[in-house]
């Protein structure tokens, strides 16, 4: 209800064409934070072999007789990507981005650590130190600290009610449960109440920083959302609740608050051990709003999309064979999604050996042939202009073998 | 223990004096030790309970902290107040069997599928009613039950053996799960607790063991096969821990041993049978698990697995560490964990004995441990209501606040349950929201006294008003009561020594109508 109220409120601006041309004049001047990164984490291990399915591999449907996607052109078939891989049909909203070469995938990628525990694997993906449990901070926090430019609380932003591991650390980071609620004045905007709690929390050794960061981010977001540009940017039909809605608001917020540079969103519900379905069903129902949200994000970022890279990743993949219950169990390698104006898209990157029995890791799942950190490091280096020293801080002890491909342009 | 809404003046005055005394001495003494009786009383109330209610600190101090802990370790010796008992008894969906609950769920699902007029609405109402009553039972107990440690342990074990209430038929089963598989064993034998969760339909369904079976080649039958989900989490989360030294092969072998541990929805709904071993699903081959040869023995293979896991040294260490993390600090002292694990081994997994070792330890009573834990949203909300002394007829505002803070009750989707560490819950947004909740509670603006509309019998559909539904007590008048702000002085006395002199000083400099909100929204009240 609140979301809708907000949409109505911001929808009152004048009608403007939405598209690259419309926004050329308002593109922000080059600054230290104008290159953006958005990370979307799919918690629960999405079944990458049904996201970017090797429909051209003769083994694929043998391994997945009931959940496998049919070949492109068939009823409920995958959407052809490159004649060998096919995209899940529930992700049709991403097809224009693929066609425009703004979307790429890295298959058989992931963490080199062999764990099939969701929780350890997510932890490693967020700390970017696979196999090491005592890393105190998340890599996005180290990244924001290592990038040039002034630190501000909203430079590193999470959407969700809690602050995830990936954002934790010494640098300031804030979370918004959802962008809509952040736009409302709150109790602490009342001067007397504010003064009282400001004093209680001022320089408090344990909670002072979280309190101050929260207030600073709140002011920034309020300011950004009051601007006229935001009102025009969010013009459009109301979106379904959930990710598409949050994505639209995040895009608007990033366009209006140039201080926001790195953003993180986590989505759950991918642990499909039973009845995951094929072209339709549980997995399809989760993928559809994700694809729609990513498309909305790209559209509403407008000119900023050219300066943004969006990465979608998940802690590990799932078994190549479907299990006895029309689902899949915990696996290893997965597919990463990379989207953005300067992404060298329209291509599935990464070494690929097929899904023949002899090529499967431990006889059950995809091997990890591309370390997820090598993709993230390349984006940090080529897109965010992170220097060598910073690279070592953000991705410590990373194996020397960097990705053998270039997925993002300068 | 009932709320005494009008404490006698002597009582109040003595606590006020105590508070004044603490204000003067706390800065020095809290840094040295947690030795003063009232500081100790507050500490154990913050850890073995969800914080003090008005008068609690004095009661515990008078009784003696050690005696109080001993009593809390034996909840069966503490009678429930008759009024709490009566309110719990009036919650019909909380008291009915798993079978009856599932029968209602399946019937409504059938009607919705038949596109029966109004079936969706009836189903929505029935599910809301089940969820509301489950929350009401849980929160009423957390706020009011004198068996405080039992309530803490029920929440602890529910998280340890988490089941997400939003997955399919688990909507109808989590009430029974908590009542039948968690609560009776909260301070008992870990093996019994493990077995009860393993065999409860809520867990069998949540982690898919219900459908796991030996691989079939018979093409005519519906596809069947092994499902590793439960076997993996059984070792990783429930017992050994992720570093417990098992392999992927052990996961697969354990899954094979557990094939056939299942239940049948229709039989559960019809006859109340919550578990059955289906020999037809069981993998009869030999297995090698954790280095042991497992001879084929049907259901006994799974029982053997639970026997081994319950007293495995890795389990003793893993679960002892979780307990120490909950009760002592986010990074619990390894020496304490080792001693708890030794008790675990010596007692064959007696939860009460392990907790007794924990509570008797110097690490637990150490001054450095006082206030070391950051409250989870659940702990924050329940402790605020307890400190306020406000009677709760409507848990809706509490449930909503927990959801906003990222911790919906029975709503953790993943099997690891909610964490209880500061890293997990301290964030900029959380503090603002907690302060907003504190202000609404302090100002008397939360409608805690108003029974929600959907709970009124007049709103019930004919189906729900059937013979198996007990009548609800008559609702109070609907007129919104005038907000009654909390008495800041009384709240201050209740919290006594857990509020620092610095905070008290700032509170005193502010107008009276802000003081209660400031106490409940203070840094001091964020920790336990």
Q: Is residue B351 part of a domain?
A: yes
pLDDT score at B464 = 32
Q: Residue A291: in which H helix or E strand, if any? A: helix A282-301
Q: Is residue B347 part of a domain?
A: yes
The answer to whether the CB of B410 falls within 8 A of the CB of B167 is: no
Residues 148-187 of A with CB under 8 A from B: 153, 160-163, 165, 168, 174-177, 186-187
Burial (CB < 10 A; 0-12, 13-18, 19+), residue A363, is exposed
Residue A401 pLDDT exceeds 80? no
pLDDT score at A230 = 52
What mean pLDDT do residues A224-245 have?
64
Q: Is residue B334 part of a domain?
A: yes
What are residue B289's DSSP bridge partners?
A: B292
What mean pLDDT do residues A330-343 have?
97
Residue with tokens 């409507």: B394
> B510 contacts in A (CB within 8 Å)?
196
Instruction: Name the residue facing A188 among B251, B404, B435 (closest C-beta).
Output: B435
- Total residue count of chain A as it appears in this document: 410
Tokens representing B322 are 């979780």
**What values do phi and psi take at B143, rounded to 5?**
-80, -40
Report the SS3 class of residue B47: helix
Cα separation, B408 vs B412, whole angstroms: 7
Residues 268-287 of A with CB under 8 A from B: 268-269, 271, 273-274
Cα separation, B24 vs B389, whole angstroms: 26
List, as one string, the DSSP characters of A206-239.
Answer: TTHHHHHHHHHHHHHHHHHHHSHHHHHHT-SSPP
Does A117 contact chain B (CB < 8 Å)? yes
Task: With cut-offs at 50, 70 and 90, classify the pLDDT of residue A409.
Answer: confident
Can you say whether the dihedral through the CA atoms of B485, B488, B489, B491 is positive or negative?
A: positive
Opening angle at CA B311, ends B322 and B77, nearest 5: 70
Q: Is the Cβ pair B429, A153 closer than 8 Å? A: no
The residue among B382, B377, B341 whose CA lies nearest residue B241 is B341
Full pLDDT tens readout for chain B, 528 residues: 333 434 344 444 444 444 444 444 444 344 334 457 789 999 999 999 999 999 999 999 999 999 999 999 999 999 999 999 999 999 999 999 999 999 999 999 999 998 877 899 999 999 999 999 999 999 999 999 999 999 999 999 999 999 999 999 999 999 999 999 999 999 999 999 999 999 999 999 999 999 999 987 555 555 578 999 999 999 999 999 999 999 999 999 999 999 999 999 999 999 999 999 999 999 999 999 999 999 999 999 999 999 999 999 999 999 999 999 999 999 999 999 999 999 999 999 999 999 999 999 999 999 899 999 999 999 999 999 999 999 999 999 999 999 989 999 999 989 999 999 999 999 988 999 999 999 999 999 999 988 765 544 433 333 333 333 333 444 454 556 688 999 999 999 999 789 999 999 999 999 999 999 999 999 999 999
Residues 180-199 of A with CB under 8 A from B: 186-188, 192-193, 196-197, 199
Instruction: Name the residue facing A269 among B208, B413, B511 (closest C-beta).
Output: B413
The answer to whether the CB of A209 falls within 8 A of the CB of A153 is: no
Q: Is the Cβ pair B227, A269 closer than 8 Å? A: no
Cα separation, B121 vs B112, whole angstroms: 9
What are residue A338's DSSP bridge partners?
A: A104, A311
Number of domains, chain B = 1
Q: Is residue B504 part of a domain?
A: no
Q: Is the Cβ pair B523, A330 closer than 8 Å? A: no
B511 Cα to chain A: minimum distance (Å): 10
* CA B259 to each of CA B208, B250, B290, B524: distance values in angstroms, whole numbers, following the listed order: 11, 14, 17, 50
Instruction: Name the residue facing B248 among A165, A174, A362 (closest C-beta).
Output: A362
Q: Domain of B361?
A: 313-369
Can you say whether the dihedral through the CA atoms of B351, B354, B356, B361 is positive or negative?
A: negative
A210 Cα to chain B: minimum distance (Å): 5
Q: CA Rg, chain B, in Å? A: 25
Q: How far is CA A362 from the centre of its chain?
A: 29
Cα separation, A112 vs B87, whole angstroms: 54
Say which residues have a Cβ less than 8 Å from residue B197's Cβ, sequence separation at least 6.
B161, B177, B181, B182, B203, B238
> B282 contacts in A (CB within 8 Å)?
none
A325 Cα to chain B: minimum distance (Å): 6
Q: Is the Cβ pair A196, B506 closer than 8 Å? A: yes
Burial (CB < 10 A; 0-12, 13-18, 19+), residue B514, is buried
> B224 contacts in A (CB within 8 Å)?
324-325
Q: Is residue B326 part of a domain?
A: yes
In chain A, the residue whose alpha carbon lies closest to the alpha carbon of B371 is A206
Which residue stretches of A302-364 are H helix?
none
Q: Is residue B111 part of a domain?
A: no
Q: Is the Cβ pair A325, B426 closer than 8 Å? A: no
Burial B371-389 (b: 16+ CB within 10 A, else e): bbbbbbbbbbbbbbbbbbb
> A119 contacts in B (CB within 8 Å)?
236, 242, 414, 416
Residue A6 pLDDT exceeds 50? no
- Testing the interface with B: which of A137, A155, A162 to mutate, by most B Cβ within 10 A? A162
Q: Is the Cβ pair A196, B416 closer than 8 Å? A: no
In chain A, the residue whose alpha carbon lies closest to the alpha carbon of B226 is A324
A274 Cα to chain B: minimum distance (Å): 7
> B223 contacts in A (CB within 8 Å)?
66, 324-326
pLDDT score at A239 = 65
Say which residues have a Cβ less than 8 Å from residue A389's Cβ, sequence separation at least 6.
A146
pLDDT tens digits along A185-211 = 888 889 999 999 999 999 999 999 999
- Testing the interface with A: which of B168, B401, B428 to mutate, by most A Cβ within 10 A? B428
Q: Residue A79: in which H helix or E strand, if any? A: strand A79-80
pLDDT tens digits along A343-374 = 999 999 999 999 999 999 999 999 999 999 99
Cα separation, A111 vs B331, whole angstroms: 27
> B212 contacts in A (CB within 8 Å)?
324-325
B214 Cα to chain A: minimum distance (Å): 9
* CA A45 to each of CA A278, B135, B503: distance values in angstroms, whole numbers, following the listed order: 17, 30, 46
pLDDT score at A1 = 35
- Testing the interface with A: which of B232, B422, B429 to mutate, by most A Cβ within 10 A? B429
Say which residue, A221 or B130, is predicted with more confidence: B130
Instruction: Name the residue facing B436 among A186, A196, A215 (closest C-beta).
Output: A186
The answer to whether the CB of B449 falls within 8 A of the CB of B420 is: no
Burial (CB < 10 A; 0-12, 13-18, 19+), residue A252, is buried
Does A138 contact chain B (CB < 8 Å)? no
Residue A317 Ramachandran class (φ > 0 left, ψ -120 to 50 alpha, else beta): beta
List, as one string, the DSSP characters of A112-167.
Answer: SS----HHHHHHHHHHT-TT-TT--S-HHHHHHHHSSS---GGGEEEESSS--GGG
In chain A, the residue whose alpha carbon lies closest to the alpha carbon of B407 is A161
Tokens representing A190 are 């009342």
List, as one string, the DSSP characters of B250-314.
Answer: HHHHHHHHTTTEE--HHHHHHH----EE-TTTS--S-EEETTEEE---THHHHHHHHHHHHT-HH
* CA B404 to each of CA A11, A182, A224, B400: distance values in angstroms, whole numbers, following the listed order: 26, 13, 23, 6
B147 Cα to chain A: minimum distance (Å): 31
Q: How far is CA A275 from the centre of its chain?
A: 26
Instruction: Name the residue facing A324 among B227, B431, B522 (closest C-beta).
Output: B227
The answer to whether the CB of B162 falls within 8 A of the CB of B417 is: yes
The residue among A353, A370, A352 whose CA lies nearest residue A407 is A370
What are residue A308's DSSP bridge partners?
A: A36
The answer to whether the CB of B461 falls within 8 A of the CB of B125 is: yes
Instruction: Name the residue facing A330 among B232, B404, B425 (closest C-beta).
Output: B232
pLDDT score at A161 = 84
Q: Is the Cβ pair B216, A324 closer than 8 Å? A: yes
**What values do phi and psi take at A309, rounded to 5?**
-120, 135
Q: Is residue B340 part of a domain?
A: yes
In chain B, the residue whose alpha carbon lies closest to the alpha carbon of A364 is B248
The residue among A322, A320, A296 whose CA lies nearest residue A38 is A296
Q: Is residue B251 part of a domain?
A: no
Tokens representing B85 are 């008992």
**What values do phi and psi take at B212, rounded to 5?**
-75, 135
Burial (CB < 10 A; 0-12, 13-18, 19+), residue A95, is middle
> A213 contacts in B (CB within 8 Å)?
428
Q: Is the Cβ pair B430, A165 closer than 8 Å? A: no
Instruction: Name the residue facing A273 among B223, B224, B229 (closest C-beta).
Output: B229
Instruction: Name the residue facing B227 among A196, A217, A323 (closest C-beta).
Output: A323
Domains of chain A in start order, with CATH, are 35-183+240-394 (3.40.720)
Residue A9 pLDDT exceeds 50? no
List, as one string, the DSSP characters of B307-368.
Answer: HHHHT-HHHHHHHHHHHHHHHT-SS--HHHHHHHHHHHHHTTSBHHHHHHHHHTSHHHH-GG
Does A330 contact chain B (CB < 8 Å)? yes
């Amino acid at each position: 209800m609140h979301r809708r109220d907000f949409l109505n409120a911001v929808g009152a601006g004048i009608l403007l064409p939405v598209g690259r041309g419309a926004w050329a004049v308002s593109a922000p001047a080059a600054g230290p934070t104008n290159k953006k990164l958005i990370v979307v984490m799919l918690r629960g291990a999405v079944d990458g072999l049904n996201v970017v399915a090797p429909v051209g591999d003769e083994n694929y449907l043998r391994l997945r007789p009931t959940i496998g996607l049919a070949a492109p052109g068939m009823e409920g078939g995958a959407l052809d990507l490159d004649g060998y891989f096919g995209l899940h049909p529930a992700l049709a909203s991403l097809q224009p981005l693929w066609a425009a070469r703004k979307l790429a995938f890295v298959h058989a990628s992931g963490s080199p650590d062999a764990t099939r525990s969701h929780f350890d694997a997510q932890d490693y993906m967020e700390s970017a130190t696979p196999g090491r449990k005592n890393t105190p901070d998340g890599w996005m926090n180290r990244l924001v600290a290592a990038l040039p430019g002034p630190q501000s609380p909203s430079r590193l932003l999470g959407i969700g009610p809690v602050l995830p591991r990936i954002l934790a650390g010494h640098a300031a980071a804030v979370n918004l449960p959802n962008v809509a609620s952040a736009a409302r004045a709150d109790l602490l905007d009342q001067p007397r109440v504010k003064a009282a709690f400001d004093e209680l929390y001022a320089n408090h050794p344990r909670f002072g920083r979280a309190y101050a960061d929260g207030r600073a981010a709140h002011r920034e977001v309020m300011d950004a959302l009051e601007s006229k540009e935001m009102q025009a940017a969010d013009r459009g039909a109301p979106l379904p609740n959930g990710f598409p809605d949050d994505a639209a608001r995040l895009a608007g917020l990033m366009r209006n608050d140039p201080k926001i540079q790195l953003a993180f969103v986590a989505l759950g519900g991918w642990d499909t051990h039973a009845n995951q379905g094929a072209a339709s069903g549980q997995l399809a129902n989760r993928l559809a709003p994700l694809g729609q949200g990513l498309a909305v994000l790209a559209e509403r970022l407008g000119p900023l999309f050219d300066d943004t890279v969006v990465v979608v990743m998940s802690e590990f993949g799932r078994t190549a064979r479907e299990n006895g219950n029309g689902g899949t169990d915990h696996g290893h390698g997965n597919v990463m999604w990379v989207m953005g104006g300067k992404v060298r898209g329209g291509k599935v990157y990464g070494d690929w050996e097929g899904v023949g029995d002899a090529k499967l890791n431990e006889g059950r799942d995809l091997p990890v042939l591309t370390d997820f950190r090598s993709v993230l490091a390349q984006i940090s280096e080529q897109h965010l202009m992170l220097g060598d020293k910073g690279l070592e801080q953000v991705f410590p002890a990373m194996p020397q073998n960097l990705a053998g491909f270039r997925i993002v342009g300068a | 223990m009932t709320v005494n809404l009008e404490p006698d003046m002597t009582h109040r005055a003595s606590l006020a004096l105590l508070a004044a005394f603490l204000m003067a001495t706390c800065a020095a003494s809290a840094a040295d030790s947690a030795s003063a009786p009232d500081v100790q009383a507050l500490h154990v109330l913050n850890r073995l309970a969800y914080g003090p209610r008005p008068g609690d600190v004095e009661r515990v101090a008078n009784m003696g902290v050690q005696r109080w802990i001993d009593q809390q370790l034996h909840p069966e010796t503490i009678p429930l107040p008759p009024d709490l008992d009566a309110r719990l008894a009036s919650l019909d969906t909380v008291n009915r069997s798993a079978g009856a609950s599932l029968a209602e769920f399946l019937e409504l699902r059938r009607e919705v599928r038949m596109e029966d007029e109004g079936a969706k609405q009836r189903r929505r109402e029935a599910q809301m009613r089940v969820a509301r009553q489950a929350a009401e039972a849980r929160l009423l107990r957390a706020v009011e039950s004198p068996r405080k440690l039992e309530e803490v342990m029920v929440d602890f074990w529910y998280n340890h053996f988490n089941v997400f209430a939003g997955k399919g038929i688990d909507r109808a089963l989590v009430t029974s799960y908590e009542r039948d598989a968690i609560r009776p064993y909260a301070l008992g034998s870990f093996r019994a607790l493990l077995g009860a969760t393993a065999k409860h339909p809520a867990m069998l369904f949540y982690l898919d063991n219900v459908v796991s079976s030996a691989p079939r080649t018979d093409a005519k039958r519906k596809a069947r096969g092994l499902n590793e989900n439960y076997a993996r989490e059984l070792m990783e989360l429930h017992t050994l821990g992720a570093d417990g030294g098992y392999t992927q092969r052990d996961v697969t072998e354990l899954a094979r041993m557990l094939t056939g541990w299942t239940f049948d929805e229709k039989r559960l709904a019809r006859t109340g049978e919550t578990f059955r071993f289906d020999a037809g699903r069981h993998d009869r081959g030999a297995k090698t698990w954790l280095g042991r040869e497992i001879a084929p023995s049907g259901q006994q293979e799974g029982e053997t697995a639970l026997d081994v896991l319950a007293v495995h040294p890795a389990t003793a260490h893993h679960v002892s560490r979780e307990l120490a993390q909950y009760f002592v600090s986010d990074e619990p002292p390894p020496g304490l964990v080792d001693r708890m694990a030794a008790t675990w081994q010596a007692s064959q997994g007696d939860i009460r004995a392990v907790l007794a070792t924990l509570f008797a330890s110097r690490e637990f009573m150490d001054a450095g441990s006082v206030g070391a834990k950051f409250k989870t949203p659940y702990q924050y909300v329940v402790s605020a209501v307890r400190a306020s002394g406000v009677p709760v007829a409507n848990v809706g505002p509490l449930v909503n606040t927990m959801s906003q803070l990222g911790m919906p009750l029975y709503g953790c989707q993943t099997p690891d349950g909610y964490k209880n560490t500061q890293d997990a819950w301290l964030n900029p947004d959380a503090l603002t929201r907690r302060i907003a909740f504190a202000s609404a509670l302090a100002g008397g603006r939360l409608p805690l006294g108003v029974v929600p509309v959907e709970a009124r019998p007049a709103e019930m559909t004919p189906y729900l008003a059937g013979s198996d539904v007990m009548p609800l007590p008559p609702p109070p008048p609907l007129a919104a009561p005038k907000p009654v702000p909390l008495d800041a002085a009384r709240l201050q006395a209740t919290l006594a020594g857990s509020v620092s002199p610095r905070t008290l000083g700032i509170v005193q400099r502010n107008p009276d109508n802000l003081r209660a909100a400031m106490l409940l929204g203070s840094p001091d009240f964020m920790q336990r």
